[in-house]
Amino acid sequence: MFKKARFGVLGCGNISKIHIQGIMNTEEAELAAVCDTNKENLKEYVETYGVRAFNDYSEMLKQDDIDVICICTPSGLHPLQTIMAAEAKKHVICEKPLSFDVSDIDRMIESCKDNGVLLAAIFPWRMSPVMQYVKCFIDEGGLGKLSLCSAHIKPFRAQEYYDSASWRGTWAMDGGGVLMNQGIHTIDLLQWFAGPAASLYAKCDNVLRDIEVEDTAVTVLHFKNGAMGVIEASTTAYKTPDTLHLHGEKGTIVLTAGEITNLSLIDQEEVEIPAFEPFNVIPDGHRMQIRNMALAVLEGMPIEVTGEDGRHGLEIILGTYESERTKQEVQLT
């Protein structure tokens, strides 16, 4: 039998199901262990897969037959748990956000480098054939010089969602609201297409939800390439898909809920949009990132979404919070 990369999953709540499904559906991967401080959450995986279960993360890290740790715990735990994995010589796939602090991300990246292990940040939208097409189209100059690139982010979450786990909607463990938790995916795409960002000015507030962090935010961006843009985001907006509007001197691309709904070029009557492979961001994106890690461990394939990639969107989000706090324009590095 050919060799498989062996995965341990840390944190067995909602998103762990998608990681485990991704591992089970990847030929080159194997589920070696699961770990959660809450024993109840391990039961299902032990019963279904007969997998080893741990309550203590340090114990899981001592196992020699684990190559990769998938970190699926509340966001505030990601930096420490990534560094612990790296020091135990385990590769890491870490859920978003990697951290709430750019210097923490730098420490995570450094620790993985120093220990000779790989770090992947979960941004499943980057695996989408549509998004990869748009990225190539823009990078190859298809829209010419970019002028206005904006993200409209409307992932509705009722108060019950925030009340469903004590860490949700808190600064300490969620690190922020609609931008840090839900919006980070679309912000990552916006900056991947049009970034990096040079400066921003922003306002945010908790308008309708009873939480510490923002349910609504508006950020005005200036990108390093000269384009401008707006991020508007709210968990109070009901039944409205996320959109990205990308405009340049040669034309426009609009993405709605992950599909191209407008590709119009000024000097071309009709633009043919290719037929893309079907892609459901969850679970396909996670499965593809898990396979990418397995092939990186087994065959040295490059990691598609690295720790460094996880840093840029975070800078925009943290800059937004700083601008709200200081009422000033914020310069990004």
Site residues for ligand NAD per CB under 6 A = 10-15, 35-38, 41, 57, 72-75, 77, 95-96, 122, 124, 165, 181, 282
Cα–Cα distances (Å) from 6 to 25, 31, 37, 165, in that order, read 13, 6, 21, 30
* Of 77 and 254, CB closest to ligand NAD: 77
In terms of Cα–Cα distance, which of 40, 36, 70 is closest to 55? 36
**3-state class of 198 per DSSP?**
strand
* Of 36 and 315, CB closest to ligand NAD: 36
Q: Which residues are CB-contacts of 44 (< 8 A; sequence separation ≥ 6)?
A: 12
Residue 315 CB, shortest distance to ligand NAD, in Å, is 18
Q: How far apart are CA 196 and CA 186, in angstroms?
A: 14
Q: Which residue is nearest to ligand NAD (CB)?
A: 13
Q: How far apart are CA 49 and CA 129, in angstroms?
A: 32
Residue 17 CB, shortest distance to ligand NAD, in Å, is 8
* Of 86 and 227, CB closest to ligand NAD: 86
Residue 81 CB, shortest distance to ligand NAD, in Å, is 7
**3-state class of 102 per DSSP?**
helix
Q: How far apart are CA 207 and CA 159, in angstroms?
A: 12
In terms of Cα–Cα distance, which of 173, 108, 136 is closest to 308? 108
* Of 36 and 214, CB closest to ligand NAD: 36
* Of 22 and 74, CB closest to ligand NAD: 74
Residue 282 CB, shortest distance to ligand NAD, in Å, is 6
> C-alpha angle 52/302/318, rounded to 5°?
85
Residue 253 CB, shortest distance to ligand NAD, in Å, is 23
Secondary-structure percent of the chain, ordered helix, strand, coil, rounded to 5 = 35, 25, 40
Q: How far apart are CA 128 and CA 164, in angstroms?
A: 30
* Of 45 and 223, CB closest to ligand NAD: 45
Residue 73 CB, shortest distance to ligand NAD, in Å, is 4
Residue 13 CB, shortest distance to ligand NAD, in Å, is 2
- Tell me whether residue 139 is exposed, middle or buried, using C-beta atoms within 10 angstroms of its C-beta: 0 to 12, 13 to 18, 19 or more: exposed
* Of 173 and 254, CB closest to ligand NAD: 173
Residue 262 CB, shortest distance to ligand NAD, in Å, is 26
* Of 122 and 217, CB closest to ligand NAD: 122
In terms of Cα–Cα distance, which of 84, 78, 89, 95 is closest to 19? 95
